[in-house]
Amino acid sequence: MLQNLLTAHKGAFKDYTELRAQVNSTRRVAIVAGNMTGNNQASEGGVSARVYKGGTFGFASGAEYSNDAVKNVLQAATDNALFMDKRINKGKPPLPSATPGNVGLKTIPGDVINQSVIIDFVKALDDLVVKKCKNLSSRTVSAQCLDIEKLMAVSDGADSHFFQPRSMVYVIMAADTSDGVPVELYQPLGGFGRFDEWFTDPAEFLPQINSLYESLMKKREGVYTNAGLKKCILHPNLAGMLAHEAVGHTVEADIVLGGSVAAHNVGKQVASEMVTMVDFAHSAFGKTVPLPVYVDDEGVMAEDAMLIENGILKGFMHNRETARHFNTKPQGNARAFTFSDEPLIRMRNTVIMPGTSKLDDMINSIDDGYYLVRTGNGQADTTGEFMFSVDEGYEIKNGKIGKAIKETTISGVAFEMLKTVDMLSDDMIWDVSGFCGKKQAMTASMGGPAIRCDMNIGGR
């Protein structure tokens, strides 16, 4: 656990100042076709300071965490701020103030588990895949653990101590079609918490293994989709990806200032009246969210950010600087991935809120369309235009799930596609398995219900 050396240096703060100590610890184990191809442990840590003066920031970091290192980094950041202010002379007013406080650990770091515990589990899960899943051309089982611990001391706002553990296991299966073409699916397991809290008995994950294998066998017999605008149901996995990539990034205020499509749409209808989208801070639906943020890396107490409400774009995600520009309050979206990164505006737990329909009724309502389940990758730009791969999907014929489909793509413009939403399921699923790649990596979670909408889908 990080020792707090920061508060003793607050007396040296002259201007707005953030002082952060951070350690990121990673573990990785990978087994491919029974052979261990990865067995890594790493730790990256240090201290950084950021000082604001007259509209510019001075930043400095160092990989040593000691009183002398803190003092040196703080002085370097102050000197950098003075230099930048003198050269650029923006003459901007102070940043918005934030609620003072001191938020302690919500999750306590435990004893570091031995790497052999992770290795043994991955091997046992791989053995289970071999035993239960025949006719595979390849298989991969990997574990990736990331523990992030931060200490913050700020001149204005909340000091904090934060620990965020995330433990994931990924199962990838591949098989060949009758024509010898390889097809592949993967399943992430795990989420927020320590490895030994999630993974003790491989047999507990047998239902997910069996489901993945069954889906892969159906995909081997998949048919081509008919290209065009189709009535589709998006599984929550795809709904969450769209919420994050195609919508979420367009309403990050720094991207808005860069020309995002959202810039001139506040107060306007950008989606069906059924669509409400929220970036949750630390709790939702009466529970802790998958990746809770209580205080951001600018010392701002984290609050939920309402992005779209009943189809109307309500606002953006901010840091202190953009909140001042848009004359609003920051809600805790400024985060940095490593000690040497400056905070950026980032999503936390971004979801489309559930509706009132049952998935079975949504499927029954479609005579000729598609049920799209998994995506492997995708891209979107500041116009909201997106394209995602569809790795798993099924025909819907006369209100029934039909044949699996071959891999395809979906595309469109998010704010136009969302206007076609006419049914939302009454449940939702979180996805916490990936990273957001905006300039620097960042953990984020996303989610949503199943969505019925019109979607452009590729074909042969």
Each residue's pLDDT tens digit, 379-424: 889 999 999 999 999 999 999 999 999 999 999 999 999 999 999 9
Query: Structure tokens of 34?
Result: 């029974």
Give the integer Cα–Cα distance in Å for 251 and 253: 6
Q: Is the pLDDT of residue 376 over 90?
A: no
Query: Structure tokens of 412?
Result: 């469109």
Three-state DSSP at 63 gives: coil
For 114-139, the pLDDT digits (tens) are 999 999 999 999 999 999 999 999 99
Give the integer Cα–Cα distance in Å for 453 and 419: 8
Task: Kindly state the average pLDDT of the residues 353-374.
Answer: 97
DSSP 8-state secondary structure symbol assigned to residue 298: T
Give the integer Cα–Cα distance in Å for 192 and 350: 16
Using alpha carbons, select from 412, 300, 417 the residue that is nearest to residue 352. Answer: 417
Chain-centre distance for alpha carbon 219: 27
For residue 111, what pLDDT is reported? 85
Using alpha carbons, select from 173, 166, 167, 168 the residue that is nearest to residue 209. Answer: 173
Give me the count of residues in the chain: 460
Q: Is the pLDDT of residue 141 over 90?
A: yes
Three-state DSSP at 394 gives: strand
For 176-222, the pLDDT digits (tens) are 999 999 999 999 999 999 999 999 999 999 999 999 999 999 999 99
For 266-311, the pLDDT digits (tens) are 999 999 999 999 999 999 999 999 999 999 999 999 999 999 999 9
363 and 399 Cβ atoms separated by less than 8 Å = yes
Using alpha carbons, select from 147, 166, 167 the residue that is nearest to residue 22. Answer: 147
For residue 409, what pLDDT is reported? 96
| Amino acid at residue number 373 | V
For residue 110, what pLDDT is reported? 85
For residue 394, what pLDDT is reported? 98
Q: How many CA atoms does the CB half-sphere of 192 hold within 13 Å?
A: 20
Query: Structure tokens of 434?
Result: 């990936």
- Please count the other Cβ atoms lying within 10 Å of the Cβ belonging to residue 91: 8
237 and 375 Cβ atoms separated by less than 8 Å = yes
436 and 444 Cβ atoms separated by less than 8 Å = yes
Using alpha carbons, select from 249, 139, 248 the residue that is nearest to residue 184. Answer: 139
DSSP string, 89-147: -----PPPP---EEE--SS---PPPPHHHHHHHHHHHHHHHHHH--S-SEEEEEEEEEE
pTM: 0.96
For residue 136, what pLDDT is reported? 97
Three-state DSSP at 187 gives: strand
Q: Is the pLDDT of residue 263 over 90?
A: yes
Walk me through the domains of the chain, giving residue ranges and CATH numbers. 7-220 (3.30.2290.10), 228-457 (no CATH)
What proportion of the chain, given as a percentage, has pLDDT over 70?
100
Distances (CA, A) of 307 to 259, 284, 357: 17, 15, 23
Chain-centre distance for alpha carbon 250: 15
Give the integer Cα–Cα distance in Å for 243 and 43: 32
For 192-217, letters b (16+ CB in 10 Å) and e give bbbbeebbeebeebeeebeebbebbb
Q: Is the pLDDT of residue 378 over 90?
A: no
Task: Kindly state the average pLDDT of the residues 245-257.
Answer: 96
Give the integer Cα–Cα distance in Å for 448 and 457: 21
Chain-centre distance for alpha carbon 294: 16
Using alpha carbons, select from 388, 389, 380, 394 the residue that is nearest to residue 407. Answer: 389
Query: Structure tokens of 264?
Result: 């001139």
Task: Compute the Cα dihedral for 215, 221, 225, 226 and give only its sign.
Answer: negative
pLDDT class for 89, splitting at 50, 70, 90? Answer: confident
Q: Is the pLDDT of residue 45 over 90?
A: yes
145 and 119 Cβ atoms separated by less than 8 Å = no
What integer best gives the mean pLDDT of the chain? 96
Task: Compute the Cα dihedral for 149, 190, 428, 377 and give only its sign.
Answer: positive
Q: Is the pLDDT of residue 377 over 90?
A: no
For residue 60, what pLDDT is reported? 98
Three-state DSSP at 349 gives: strand
Packed helices 206-220 and 115-132: angle between N→C axes, nearest 10 degrees? 50
For 266-286, letters b (16+ CB in 10 Å) and e give eeebbbbebbbbbbbbbebee
Give the integer Cα–Cα distance in Å for 193 and 31: 22
Give the integer Cα–Cα distance in Å for 389 and 383: 19
pLDDT class for 112, splitting at 50, 70, 90? Answer: confident
Phi, psi of 58, rounded to the nearest 5 degrees: -110, 135
